Amino acid sequence: NAGVTQTPKFQVLKTGQSMTLQCAQDMNHEYMSWYRQDPGMGLRLIHYSVGAGITDQGEVPNGYNVSRSTTEDFPLRLLSAAPSQTSVYFCASSYSASQENQPQHFGDGTRLSIL
Amino acid sequence: GEDVEQSLFLSVREGDSSVINCTYTDSSSTYLYWYKQEPGAGLQLLTYIFSNMDMKQDQRLTVLLNKKDKHLSLRIADTQTGDSAIYFCAEKRGDYKLSFGAGTTVTVRA
């Protein structure tokens, strides 16, 4: 049981390049989400999914796409990378879409730099 | 996440109690959470409190909730060096979303 696995751990991109950040969980969790963490701003929700085939936007969705074709995987795509997307990205999952007392399990993060 | 506010830094002596404060704005929030982030790692849920509770205790952790003032605090008793981390307050908004504060960096000094 690996929990939430994010790859890669580090990545450097040039402006305009595209990239997919991978996230996989092996806990059969219904809910998955992507956050970005920037200094002094905490975590901001990018996109989330309450089940396979269902995705929705969070606070800061612009410039990112997601899909949820399986329960296990929730990739995040940067369509045309911009320096403003330099950040640490976290994927999280929880058993229940309504969360409540179900904890969100976080991956270790992907540190992304856009030059 | 800007609706949840926390002080950015806290320095505490080993063995003393730490108190981390948080204010939130959504009076309809049903659950409030405290997460811990160690260097280079993701967030780990420490504890949570339901909005109809005033206090919750879990070993060295005590959460106090003042719903009237929308104020949440986390007290860590007998703070240890392993408690050095960033602590995030979060509120549940709507059905699915969590809104996080900016995090409080706690430094434990010998």
Q: Which amino acid is at B19?
A: V
> How far is it, in rounded angstroms, from Cα A71 to Cα A112?
25
Residue A101: pLDDT band (50, 70, 90) is low
> How far is it, in rounded angstroms, from Cα B67 to Cα A84?
36
Residue A1: pLDDT band (50, 70, 90) is low
Average pLDDT over residues A74-78: 98
Q: Is the pLDDT of residue B68 over 80?
A: yes
- Which chain B residue is nearest to residue A32, measuring alpha carbons? B96
CB-CB contact of B96 with A48 (8 Å): yes
Average pLDDT over residues A26-49: 92
Helix, strand and coil in chain B, % to nearest 5 = 5, 55, 40
> How far is it, in rounded angstroms, from Cα B3 to Cα B32?
13
Average pLDDT over residues B82-106: 90
Q: Is the pLDDT of residue B23 over 90?
A: yes
In the predicted model, what is the mean pLDDT of chain B?
A: 91
Residue A85 three-state SS: helix
Q: B1–A106: do the CB atoms touch at under 8 Å?
A: no
Write down the pLDDT at residue A99: 61
Of the candidates A48, A99, A106, the beta carbon closest to that of B92 is on A99
Q: B92–A100: do the CB atoms touch at under 8 Å?
A: yes
Q: B102–A50: do the CB atoms touch at under 8 Å?
A: no
Average pLDDT over residues A23-37: 95
Average pLDDT over residues A20-41: 93
Average pLDDT over residues B57-82: 95
Of the candidates B4, B43, B96, the beta carbon closest to that of A50 is on B96
Share of chain B above pLDDT 70, in %: 98
Q: Is the pLDDT of residue B1 over 50?
A: no
Query: How far, rounded to the nearest angstrom, does the alpha carbon of residue B13 sit from its chain's CA centroid?
Result: 19
- Which chain B residue is nearest to residue A60, measuring alpha carbons? B1
Contacts of B102 in chain A (CB under 8 A): 40-42
Write down the pLDDT at residue A40: 80
Query: How far, rounded to the nearest angstrom, does the alpha carbon of residue B94 sit from its chain's CA centroid?
Result: 20
Share of chain A above pLDDT 90, in %: 83
- Which chain B residue is nearest to residue A5, measuring alpha carbons? B42
